Amino acid sequence: MDIREFRDLVTSGRPIEPGTPAQAFMRAVCQETTRLAIELNTVYHTPDEVRRIFSQIIGEPVDDSFLLFPPFNVDFGRDTHVGAGVLVNSGCFFQDQGGITLEDGVLIGQRVTIATVNHPMNAQQRANLLPKPVRICKNAWIGSCATICPGVTVGEGAVVAAGAVVPKDVPPLTVVGGVPAKTVRQIQPGE
């Protein structure tokens, strides 16, 4: 299996089952990602070095405007896609087997978790992984310690308050907060 075949499986909506080539591929990639994350997190790196290592983690180059403040934790790495002008603050965790897209201008606060995998409620199937992509749209801001759940899209210009748990989509130009996150208010154009 290669990354293209893995992404095809993920986008099909089928689970990743134990003992399958997809799980073996995912585990092998996770081992390489762990090595790179340890390299990123254990000594000081210049911003250019951080971008180089992060690009190796995700398997594609990032824009020179991308900023990441370690430590950064990720378990898979190969299904994260980052636009220009993105900031990822320290202590974040990305579980990206289902795919994470951070569009241009996205701001990610400290200790944010973005999860793209869940498990079935059926106990006999619980070891299966159910991947669903997360998309954080252009100029959205995710506050510190927020958790974005699998399958969520955060709309353009939206704000997720610190500590929020977001289990469903956030409309554009909307502020959400709480557990589970609920609409706090709308952002007025130009605000």
Among this protein's residues, is 81 annotated catalytic?
no
Q: Is residue 18 a part of any domain in this protein?
A: yes
Looking up tokens 């075949």 gives 5
Q: Is residue 132 a part of any domain in this protein?
A: yes
Q: Is residue 191 a part of any domain in this protein?
A: no
Residue 189 confidence (pLDDT) above 80: no
Per-residue DSSP letters for 63-101?
A: -TT-EE-S-EEES--TTEEE-TT-EE-TTEEEE-TT-EE
Per-residue confidence band for 190, with pLDDT thresholds at 50, 70 and 90: confident
Q: Is residue 139 a part of any domain in this protein?
A: yes
What are the tens digits of pLDDT across the range 48-65?
999 999 999 999 999 999
Arithmetic mean of pLDDT, 139-164: 98
Rounded to whole angstroms, the maximal C-alpha distance in the chain is 52
Give the CATH number, domain containing residue 46.
Answer: 2.160.10.10
The whole domain housing 40 covers 3-186
Q: What is the pTM of this model?
A: 0.95
- Total structural domains within the chain: 1
Q: Is residue 119 a part of any domain in this protein?
A: yes
Active-site residue (options: 27, 119, 182, 185): 119
